[in-house]
Chain A
Amino acid sequence: MTATSLARSRRAPRTGALTLGSGLGLGVGMIWFSLIVLIPLSAVVVKAQSGGWDGYWHTITNPQTWAAIKLTVVQSLLVTLVNIVMGTLIAWVLVRDHFFGKRAVEVVIDIPFALPTIVAGLVLLALYGPRSPIGVNIANTQKAVFLALAFVTVPFVVRTVQPVLEQLDEEVEEAAMSLGASKFTTFRRIVLPSLAPAIGAGAALSFARAISEYGSLVLLSGNLAMRTEVTSVRILTYVENGNTAAAAVVASTLLLISLIVIVLVDVIQRRIARRD
């Protein structure tokens, strides 16, 4: 399997068209991707439709499920708004400011991305839970949901904005200043429009991540029905009760949002590439 998927053609292809070797490789790769990703995700979609539209509505409008969806979407939107502001600010500091320990800041930003989500929950409990050294205990409240989502989405806006900011031609800002624009006006009218697509992409990824979050909320939010239960917990409950159809209904809703986000980010990133 290794040799086939990595094989290159014997004749150097002139136009980059598929050759026998790479065609086989593509086929193998597609089978792999289908087995692991495409087929399972399709199974969810199909299962979701097994009860027809009635079944779908019945599940979605179940009070507990609806409460979970509302909570998830609202908190995710709030977190995304915070990330838009903080992410841009942090990216600005990373690119334009120079101070001792900046490297450490870069590492800290990526920790939420690499940390196991269950550990993230534990980590936040340590500071903001029952044994908090600063006496702040928000475990089992909606604030805990917000906190967990803010934690796991830290890197997203920062990492999409940072490369764009780095590429920004400082001469363009100098031109604006030589024409009389203040620093703030320059930022507002010249820099921000250039950053807008990157911020949008980061916000979309941040939102997708937030609505999908599970592990960090398990210990931190208490999963109290109707109050701090998020969509992913609801899906798990359905699965554990054997009601895979209902689980699939809710899951396919999340899946649809994920798909929209992915397409949106792809479109935005092409626009960024085309601007230059």
Chain B
Amino acid sequence: MTEYVTVKPRRGAWPMRYLFRFIAVAYLFMLVAWPVSLVAKNTFADGWSSMRKALADPLVTSSLRLTVYVAVVAVILNLVFGVGISLILVRRRFPGRRVLSALIDLPLAVSPVVVGLALVLTYNRRDGWLGTTLEDHGFQVLFANPGIIMATVFVSLPLMIREVAPVLEEIGTDQEQAARSLGANSRQTFLRITLPSIKWAVVYGGVLSLARALGEFGAVKIVAGNVAGRTQTAPLIVEQRYQDFQQNTAYATSFILAFVAVACIVVVSIIRPKGNL
């Protein structure tokens, strides 16, 4: 006769549940939550004076403007090309499709410094593969906005596609075929059926791209030349101010960047049904 085990386990309870919860939360708190909150604390240690001082500095504001400009352009480019490439990848078959699909993820695994080097080698005016040709036509890529935009697009390119392509895959072609059977042409089908069905994926991809684009540091540093007032983005000015012992400005600018990044995540988390990125 087996012995009685008079334990009353609740549904779904498992041993060490509280221990696991504690370890997970403690790890994330010590590694992420507390340090990030300290940026806010340090920025506002003297009230709004740090922030005001930072925003009064014309180089800081111009760097912020440049960052936003580059990020917005990058997001728009990613939107157009990202949606287009997603559509072709999902809805069409062609040789090399699988290879292309895998290559698209490449920018996520490449070091930003390598990105910067790659762009410099290609687009520099002296011996760049394409740089020399472009130079002849008076088009400057490096140490100018186009280069910064390119570097930013490079690192954020996969994000839109990785959001849109799976959704396209999942919803299938049924609705589009129904639209065609009712007489819609390609453009109408795309605008009225396809686009609305992927609109949330486009939003998530756009927000993620934006966060990534705003934050790019290493690649831009190499490609832009860090010329204050002209090609210095906000992350670059954070580094410079910190190394010039103007830590308050560094923290204030960081706070702005961090705030926007966290806002992006929170927005996606709220409007997304499951909160997964």
Interface set of A (CB-CB < 8 Å, partner B): 1-2, 5-10, 12-13, 15-18, 21-22, 25-26, 28-30, 32-33, 35-41, 43-44, 47, 86, 89-90, 92-94, 96-97, 99, 103, 105-119, 122-124, 126-128, 131, 133, 147, 150-151, 154-155, 159, 162-163, 183, 205, 208-209, 211-215, 218-219, 231-233, 235-236, 239, 244, 247-248, 251, 254-255, 258-259, 261-263, 265-266
Interface set of B (CB-CB < 8 Å, partner A): 12, 14-15, 17, 20-21, 23-25, 27-28, 31-36, 38-39, 41-42, 80-81, 83-85, 87-88, 91-94, 100-123, 128-130, 150, 153-154, 157, 177, 180, 185-187, 189-190, 208, 211-212, 214-218, 221-222, 234-236, 238-239, 242-243, 250-251, 254, 257-258, 261-262, 264-266, 269, 275-277
The interface centre, meaning the residue of A2, A26, A266 with most chain B CB atoms within 10 A of its CB, is A26
Residue of B nearest to A208 (CB): B109
The answer to whether A103 touches B269 (Cβ under 8 A) is yes
The answer to whether A9 touches B186 (Cβ under 8 A) is yes
The interface centre, meaning the residue of B92, B120, B266 with most chain A CB atoms within 10 A of its CB, is B92
The answer to whether A236 touches B113 (Cβ under 8 A) is yes
The answer to whether A248 touches B121 (Cβ under 8 A) is yes
- Shortest 5 CB-CB distances between A and B: which pairs? A116-B215, A212-B111, A40-B118, A8-B186, A126-B38
Report the bound CA distance from A261 to B20 in whole Å: 30
Q: A111-B36, A150-B31, A244-B120 are in contact. List 13 more A-B contacts (CB 8 A).
A: A22-B92, A29-B88, A97-B17, A103-B275, A105-B28, A108-B32, A110-B269, A114-B264, A209-B109, A212-B110, A219-B239, A232-B218, A262-B102
The answer to whether A6 touches B84 (Cβ under 8 A) is yes
Chain A proximity of B60: nearest CB distance (Å): 14
Chain B proximity of A237: nearest CB distance (Å): 10
The interface centre, meaning the residue of B83, B105, B153 with most chain A CB atoms within 10 A of its CB, is B105
Chain A proximity of B182: nearest CB distance (Å): 12
Residue of A nearest to B123 (CB): A40
Report the bound CA distance from A36 to B82 in whole Å: 13
The answer to whether A36 touches B150 (Cβ under 8 A) is yes
Report the bound CA distance from A39 to B32 in whole Å: 37
Report the bound CA distance from A229 to B92 in whole Å: 46
The answer to whether B118 touches A43 (Cβ under 8 A) is yes
Chain B proximity of A12: nearest CB distance (Å): 5
Check A239/B24 contact, CB under 8 A, given A39-B130, A44-B114: no
Check A236/B222 contact, CB under 8 A, given A36-B153, A115-B215: yes
The answer to whether A154 touches B265 (Cβ under 8 A) is no
- Which chain B residues border A109 with CB–CB below 8 Å? 28, 32
- Selected from B38, B93, B212, B243, the residue in CB contact (under 8 A) with A127 is B38
Check A122/B122 contact, CB under 8 A, given A183-B14, A212-B111: no
The interface centre, meaning the residue of B12, B107, B177, B258 with most chain A CB atoms within 10 A of its CB, is B258
The answer to whether B105 touches A262 (Cβ under 8 A) is yes
- Selected from A18, A40, A86, A266, the residue in CB contact (under 8 A) with B94 is A18
Residue of B nearest to A91 (CB): B24
Check A37/B265 contact, CB under 8 A, given A89-B24, A103-B275, A113-B277: no
The answer to whether B111 touches A29 (Cβ under 8 A) is no
The answer to whether B31 touches A26 (Cβ under 8 A) is no
Report the bound CA distance from A150 to B28 in whole Å: 11
Residue of B nearest to A163 (CB): B276
- Selected from A37, A116, A232, the residue in CB contact (under 8 A) with B106 is A37
- Which chain A residues border B113 with CB–CB below 8 Å? 212, 214, 232-233, 235-236, 239, 251
- Which chain A residues border B123 with CB–CB below 8 Å? 40
24 A-B pairs in the complex with CB atoms less than 8 angstroms apart: A5-B80, A9-B186, A10-B186, A12-B177, A16-B91, A28-B84, A36-B153, A92-B20, A93-B24, A105-B24, A115-B258, A116-B216, A116-B234, A116-B238, A122-B242, A126-B39, A131-B42, A159-B276, A212-B113, A239-B120, A248-B121, A254-B114, A255-B114, A259-B106
- Selected from B33, B91, B117, B129, the residue in CB contact (under 8 A) with A235 is B117
Report the bound CA distance from A37 to B15 in whole Å: 49
- Selected from A25, A37, A103, A159, the residue in CB contact (under 8 A) with B157 is A37
- Which chain A residues border B208 with CB–CB below 8 Å? 114
Check A126/B42 contact, CB under 8 A, given A97-B20, A114-B208: yes
Chain B proximity of A264: nearest CB distance (Å): 10
Report the bound CA distance from A259 to B102 in whole Å: 9
Report the bound CA distance from A89 to B25 in whole Å: 10
Check A119/B91 contact, CB under 8 A, given A99-B21, A127-B35: no
